[in-house]
Structure 1
Amino acid sequence: MALLYKSDPVRGARWKALFAQHAPDIEFRQWPDIGDPKEIRYLLAWQPPENIMDSLPSLEVLFATSAGVDQFDFDALPPELPVVRMLDPAIESGMIEYATFATLWLHRRMGDYVRQQREGQWQAHMLVPAAQRRIGVLGLGQLGSTIASHFAGYGFAVSGWARSSRQVQDVACYHGEAELDEFLSSSDILICVLPLTDATRGILNSDLFARLPEGAALINIGRGEHLVDHDLTQALDDGHLSAAVLDVLSEEPPADDHPFWQDERILLTPHVAAMTQPDSAFPVLLDNLRRHQRGEPMIGRVDPQRGY
C-alpha cells in the first residue's frame, strides 16, 4: 500500500521521514517517481494530476495539502473519490497570527508611519481605542470563528457574518443576505476568510465596499478570487476605503505592471499567512488514513457541491 505525495519537494522529505518513523506500513512515494501506479491507494497533493483515475487506477482517497480545496477542479474528479482537506493546527495558528498583525497594522496606522518615515516626517496620529474600532469577520467557519473570538480578547467590538446562523461567544453574529448590510455597516476593518465558491467569487467588489463605513479597511486572507482588483483600487481612489492588506491575489504573483505593486495604501504579501507544516499536520493525516483503513468516517471530508 502506497501514498503518493505531489507538492513542495523540500517539505516532501520531511513527510517521508515521518511516514518511515510512524507509519512504515504505508510506503511514501514522491511525484514524479510513482513506481507501480496500481499500488497507490492515497494521494496527498496541492494539485492532482490530470486524468487522475487513468494515472492512478487504484486511488481511494485524495488528501489536499491545504485547508482550502478551490484549486481542485471537481468536475474533473470522479464523484465517488473522497476528497479530504488538511486540518493542520499550524494553519489555524498561522492565520490567527497574520490576521492579528494585519489588523493591528491597520488599527495603529502603521502604513502611514512607514510612509512618513520615508518622507522624513515626524507626526503622531490620534490613537483610536480598541473598543471604538469595529472588526468584522466575513466567514464564520472554524477559522473565522476562532479569529473573531481572538479579537474579542483585545477589546475590539467584533462581529461576524456567515450564510447560515452561527453563535460565537463575545461576537455579534449575522447571517444570510438579509443581515449582510447591517454587518458590513458596522465593520471598520473587514477580514475575509470565506471559502471560495461560486457564491463567494468576486464578493469583494464595489457593491460590497459601498456598504462599508467611509474610511474602512480590508484584509483578505481568504482567496484571491474573492476580490475584484479594479473595484478595490477605485474604492481607495474615491476615499471610501482607506487601506488594504492582501495576502492572496487571483494571479500570484501579479503582473509586473499590476497597480497593487506601487500602491502605498495596500500592503501586499506573497500568500504567507499560513503554511502546512508536516510535523503538525502528520498526526491529523495519519488519523484519517487509519480511519479510512478501519472503514470509519474521515475528518475534513469535502462536500463537492459546496466546495468545502
Structure 2
Amino acid sequence: MRSTKGYSASVRRLQEELNRADAVLIGAGSGLSAAAGFTYSGPRFERHFADFKDKYGIEDMYSGGFYPFPTPEVYWAWWSRHIYYNRYVDIPKPVYSELLELVRDKDYFVLTTNVDHCFQKAGFDQQRLFYTQGDYGLFQCSQPCHLKTYDNEETVRQMLAAQKDMKIPTALIPHCPVCGRPMTVNLRSDDKFVEDAGWHRAARRYAEFIQRHEGLRVLYLELGVGTNTPGIIKYPFWVATAEHPSAVYACINAHEAYAPPQLGQRAICIQRDIAAVLSDLRK
C-alpha cells in the first residue's frame, strides 16, 4: 500500500492518532536527519569534501565511509571531517525539536539507526533513546580487544585543526589504550562493532517499553527509514502493528512511504518531506 488518499486528510488522521495513542514508538532513519539538513550529497558534500572528490572520485559522504584510503593519515583526515560535520555542528533545521514538541507529553521511546546525536541535542530524554548502530562521537578498538567506547570530540577537533593536504599528523592517529591497535569509529559495519554497557542498558529499556505497552494503543511512527536495514525498524513495526489490533503504523518518507496491505486502515503513509509534515502536524 503506497499512500493514503489526500495529504491533508492523512495529516489530520495522524494528528488524531497522536492524540489518542497510549504510547508512541518513534523509528527514525537517515531520512529524518536529511530532512533536517544533514544531507550526505550535493552542495553540503561539495562544500566540505571537494578535495576528496577531486583526488579520489568520492561522490558522497556515505560512499566515502567505505573508501580504501591509502594511509591512516588520510583515513583520519576524512573521518575527522566526516564526524565533525555530522556530529559536532548544529543541524540546520529544527526538525528534531519540532518532533519533540509533538511527543513531549506522550509516553514515547525512540529507536534509531542514526548515529549523529541529533535526538540528544534536541532535548529528547536520553533514557528513552536506543541508538542501535553506534555513535559518531565514540571510538572503539578496531579488534576489538575489549567492549568499551571512548568519547572522541577533543581528538576529532585536533585532527580537523591539524590536517593539511587531506592528511593528519601521524602523532594524532588514535590507538587502543589497552592493546595498542588502531582505533575506529563505533559504527556497526561488521561483527567487530562494540555493544558497550550503555548500548545494552538502552536495549533493555527498549525491551521494557515494548513489554509495558503490550496490547495498548501504540502509534508506531516511522520517519525516514529506507531499505538499507529494514529488519531493525520497518519490519518489526509492521509485525507489531499486524499482531495488535489497537496499534497504528504511520510512515513518513520523502521517497518511499508504503505498508503491507494487510494493515489496511491501520496504516497511514505520507510520501512527503518530513520537515513539512511535522510542521503541518504542529499547526
Taking structure 1 as the reference length, the TM-score comes to 0.36
Q: Which of 1 and 2 has higher RCO (CA within 8 Å, sep 6+)? A: 2
Q: Which has the higher helix share?
A: 2
Q: Specify the structure having the higher radius of gyration (Cα).
A: 1
